[in-house]
Chains A and B, each alone.
Chain A
Amino acid sequence: MILELWMVGLVITLLLLIRVPVGLAFIGPSLWWALADGNSGGFALKTAFDGLNSFPLLAVPLFILVGVMANRLGVADRLYEFCLAALARVRGNLAYVNIGTAVGFSWMSGSALADVAGLGKIEVPHMVKAGYPYRFAAGLSASSALISPVMPPSIPAVIYAATATVSTGALFAASVVPALLMAVGLCVYVFVWTARRPDMVSVPFDRQRLRTAAIGTIGPAFVPVILLGGILSGTFTPTEAASVAVLLMIVLGLIYRTLTPRVLLQSLRETAVITGGIGLILASAALLGLILTRAHVSRDVAELVTSVSTEPWAFILMVNIVMLILGTVVDAVAAILVTVPVLLPIATSLGVDPVYFGVVLILNLMIGLLTPPVGSVLFVTASVTGRPVEEVFRGVVPFLIPLVAVLALISAFPAISLWLPHLLGF
């Protein structure tokens, strides 16, 4: 071989460091390697092109569209109002409202960014006005946004399922309990925090307000029912469920009279732009993945890993450490696409369930969204609240404790993820 594979890795890293778009940084050196390896001119692009030709991946733009529309059609506001009315008298209510709204919205959104961009903009100023420190408010909003990409629908889950060729439905089912545990973990932290703050006042409870708010969430409540119910009853496949969820959003928008042609057009534009960005990474990672396969990298990594230990728990521990580090610097989608073809065969050979492995992988990478230097949730939170990134991160740090604790729990007990898919017969 003319060109060693580690040189490809080196050049990719250099290109990434000088801000070349991730997708192009992957393709460039891979293309060069493929040509040097004697492949036809066109090999690189053809592989990238074919990598996008996958039915399960169609759920990506559709779930992005659902999340974008839920924001623009006022669905997020309705959920917030409902949680506010329901949790009026609880001490530290705005903090719990923040988590509750995140859980509700997580059923409609597949990525963390839609969450912070939409909800963070409303919640952080509200909390600050009510006397919460900015760092606490921003840290909590950023952390609770991570529930979205874990709870179904989840874009990382769709991408993992397509890469690992496991059932998207099974991965969705396996993610429900871990997502709820994240919410519980955050609530515990909030409880401990407010216990030392008797000054965190609550507002009077208003029955009428709660009733109105509850009626306002009837429509959005159909989204999880249709998504999971439809998938589990066999009415449609997970990819198809995404299109039905879009249809439901259109119906809600018509009922609420918030769906104007302008809103629709802007939703489409936002979806196109986000999908275009993810799509190029999907395509380029298909090329990089094929090159790693052709060079039997998985076999070599497997030898390395199993020389350390052949215990599944040791492997999962290694994966956790590597992925947490990788997650701080690499985009989550790219990390899934590049690591799954290498790590999954090892996981399977050690008897690790691929669905459980997916949940662990995704959770690891999502935590990386909160950490510098590369943490998109951090940047968006800072940008929508108009404060420096460093300050948001200082706010996030304490919330990493419950999140990493949940990750440890889920890693240690595969049953937490797997009992629901098993119960449902996946």
Chain B
Amino acid sequence: MLRIWASAELAIACAAVVAIFLSVLWQVISRYVPALNWPEVGEIANYSLIVLTFIMVGYLIGNNGHIVIQVIDYVAKGRAARMAVKAVSSACTAVICALLAWEAFELIQAYPNRRTAALEIPIWILYAVPLLGFLSGTVRAIVRIFQAGHPDPLFDSAEAR
């Protein structure tokens, strides 16, 4: 179940990379072919980066792929100590993600009518992306609390699936 969810998140993020590439390229080309001039592409590119970032939150928590600071590994050597660190860390992560999901929900309610400047996309649709991302992050972090006994496999971005 989480596997399918993860591949959906990664697929959306990949689509966002493609969208960023194509829209920025479009902006270059349209400067030389004025007929293609469509100022809205800048907005597509910017919101794609936002979508990419927030949709990947849960995926990266689930796969131990976020940028973390590994100092504790030098201190906590024993199995019990590592287990405790992982459990506490995951619990904190879950709380922060849950708070952010709540904030996303607040934003959706706070700006029912606001739209983006160029494409006039209702802004609440865009705030739904962090809502999904942080809900997914909360679930992933809770799952990690229960997996605290297992050491994390090293995450390799080159092999991301």
Q: Chain B's nearest CB lies how many Å from the CB of A15?
A: 6
Please encode chain B, from 130 to 158, with 1 for each CB lying within 8 Å of some chain A CB and 0 for all others: 10000001000000000000000010011
Write out the residue numbers on chain A whose beta carbons fall within 8 Å of the beta carbon of B47. Answer: 53
Write out the residue numbers on chain B whose beta carbons fall within 8 Å of the beta carbon of A45. Answer: 100, 103-104, 107, 127, 130
Q: Chain B's nearest CB lies how many Å from the CB of A280?
A: 6
**Contact at A18–B88, with CB atoms within 8 Å?**
yes
Write out the residue numbers on chain A whose beta carbons fall within 8 Å of the beta carbon of B25. Answer: 240, 243-244, 246-247
Interface residues on A, range: 35 or more
**Contact at A24–B161, with CB atoms within 8 Å?**
no
Write out the residue numbers on chain B whose beta carbons fall within 8 Å of the beta carbon of A46. Answer: 103, 107
Cβ 8 A contact of A28, one of B10, B72, B96, B104: B96
Q: Chain A's nearest CB lies how many Å from the CB of B81?
A: 11
Cβ 8 A contact of B68, one of A21, A54, A58: A21
**Contact at A31–B100, with CB atoms within 8 Å?**
yes
**Contact at A269–B14, with CB atoms within 8 Å?**
yes
**Contact at A21–B50, with CB atoms within 8 Å?**
no
Complex: how many Å from CA A40 to CA B31?
41
Determine chain A's interface SS by DSSP, over half rule. Answer: helix
Within 8 A of A (CB), among B47-66: 47, 49-50, 52-57, 59-61, 65-66
Complex: how many Å from CA A15 to CA B54?
20
Complex: how many Å from CA A44 to CA B130?
12
Write out the residue numbers on chain B whose beta carbons fall within 8 Å of the beta carbon of A236. Answer: 28, 31
Listed residue (A49, A62, A272, A283) with the most chain B CB atoms within 10 angstroms of its CB: A272
Cβ 8 A contact of A61, one of B17, B103, B126, B160: B17
Write out the residue numbers on chain B whose beta carbons fall within 8 Å of the beta carbon of A331. Answer: 67, 69
Write out the residue numbers on chain A whose beta carbons fall within 8 Å of the beta carbon of B46. Answer: 52-55, 58
Write out the residue numbers on chain A whose beta carbons fall within 8 Å of the beta carbon of B85. Answer: 18-19
**Is residue A57 contacting chain B, with contact meaning CB distance below 8 A?**
yes
**Contact at A273–B67, with CB atoms within 8 Å?**
no
Closest B residue by C-beta to A239: B24
Report the number of A-B residue pairs with Cβ-Cβ less than 8 Å.
207
Write out the residue numbers on chain A whose beta carbons fall within 8 Å of the beta carbon of B127. Answer: 45, 49
**Is residue B4 contacting chain A, with contact meaning CB distance below 8 A?**
no
Write out the residue numbers on chain B whose beta carbons fall within 8 Å of the beta carbon of A280. Answer: 53, 56-57, 60, 66
Complex: how many Å from CA A243 to CA B48?
15
Write out the residue numbers on chain A whose beta carbons fall within 8 Å of the beta carbon of B88. Answer: 18
**Contact at B99–A21, with CB atoms within 8 Å?**
no
Complex: how many Å from CA A25 to CA B66?
11
**Contact at A27–B53, with CB atoms within 8 Å?**
no
**Contact at A279–B53, with CB atoms within 8 Å?**
yes
Within 8 A of A (CB), among B1-47: 10, 13-14, 16-18, 20-21, 24-25, 27-28, 31, 42, 45-47
A20-B93, A31-B96 known; 20 new pairs, CB 8 Å cut-off, are A16-B69, A21-B61, A21-B68, A24-B137, A28-B95, A45-B130, A46-B107, A53-B50, A62-B24, A240-B25, A244-B25, A265-B14, A266-B160, A268-B17, A268-B18, A273-B157, A275-B56, A333-B67, A373-B70, A379-B70
27 A-B pairs (CB sep. < 8 Å): A16-B69, A18-B88, A18-B92, A19-B70, A21-B60, A28-B95, A41-B103, A43-B103, A45-B127, A49-B130, A52-B53, A61-B52, A240-B27, A243-B25, A243-B28, A244-B25, A268-B17, A268-B18, A269-B10, A272-B14, A272-B56, A275-B52, A276-B53, A276-B56, A279-B52, A280-B60, A373-B69
